[in-house]
Amino acid sequence: MVKPKLPVQNILVLDIEWRPVKAYVWRAWDENINPEQIIEDGGLLCVGCKWVGGKTEIFSEWEHGHEQMLKEIHERMSYADCLIGFNSDKYDLPKLDGEFLKHGFPPRPPCTSIDLIKTIKKMGFFRNSLAFIGPFLGVGAKMEHEGFALWKKVMDGDPLAEKRMSRYCAQDVNMTEALYLRIRSHIRNHPNMGQTGSEQCPSCGGKHHQSRGTRRTRTYKIQRLACQDCGHWFDGSRTKI
């Protein structure tokens, strides 16, 4: 893989699809599953990713094999300055880290993680799922499929189901990128996109901003700047009070 040539930051959007656990059970609900009941403990089926503004890539068990799939996404995560996902801090990233450990990969380098659901949850919307938020904010819709039957067909080796799974994962990646661009100016932990020594918007790297008053802390009066490219607010010069 060639390291991406992006202007300031290497921002990687990703999403995974996971194999369900197989287990022997007695009840349809409220089942406490012991380790000896587990037949297969799940695992990564496929992973989709793209550099912001780039092409979506899908790496899967059926096309690349498990080791190569992990190698491809590990390399891209190693180049990333920032990872973008939806519920990724609780789901996608721990799952990937566990797969890397299990299969002998070194830890991925530390980088900023932006989990978009954390920003969405601060907006007071009726629901926070990607399936709801995508159409609600006009950034796309999840691909319709047959539900759990799709996962079963993939595990049974159905080639048509594998293609649908790849398209489903790619659509989630594209939606996540579109949502990121839609709410970027609202993300509070966004890495600084500006060049060193310049007064650029830390969210988008834009050079067009306006000074709009000040805000005060206990010790400083801080210039308040509004980006004219993405709408993000950021701090300018500060004067000690």
1 lies in some domain? no
Are 234 and 161 in the same domain?
Answer: no
Are 180 and 131 in the same domain?
Answer: yes
Are 130 and 215 in the same domain?
Answer: no
Are 214 and 121 in the same domain?
Answer: no
Alpha-carbon distance 158 to 190, whole Å?
A: 41
6 lies in some domain? no
- Residue 132 and residue 125 in contact, taking contact as beta carbons nearer than 8 Å: yes
- Residue 221 and residue 239 in contact, taking contact as beta carbons nearer than 8 Å: yes
Is pTM beyond 0.85? Reply is yes
CATH classification of the domain holding 127: 3.30.420.10
Are 59 and 122 in the same domain?
Answer: yes
Q: Which residue range(s) make up the domain with 135?
A: 11-186
Residues in the chain: 241
pLDDT in tens, the chain (241 residues): 544 444 446 899 999 999 999 999 999 898 899 999 999 989 999 999 999 999 999 999 999 999 999 999 999 999 998 999 999 999 999 999 999 999 999 999 999 999 999 999 999 999 999 999 999 999 999 999 999 999 999 999 999 999 999 999 999 999 999 999 999 999 987 888 766 656 788 777 777 888 888 888 888 888 888 888 788 877 778 888 8
Counted domains in the chain: 2
Neighbour order of strands in the sheet with 209-216: 209-216, 220-227, 233-240
Are 49 and 156 in the same domain?
Answer: yes
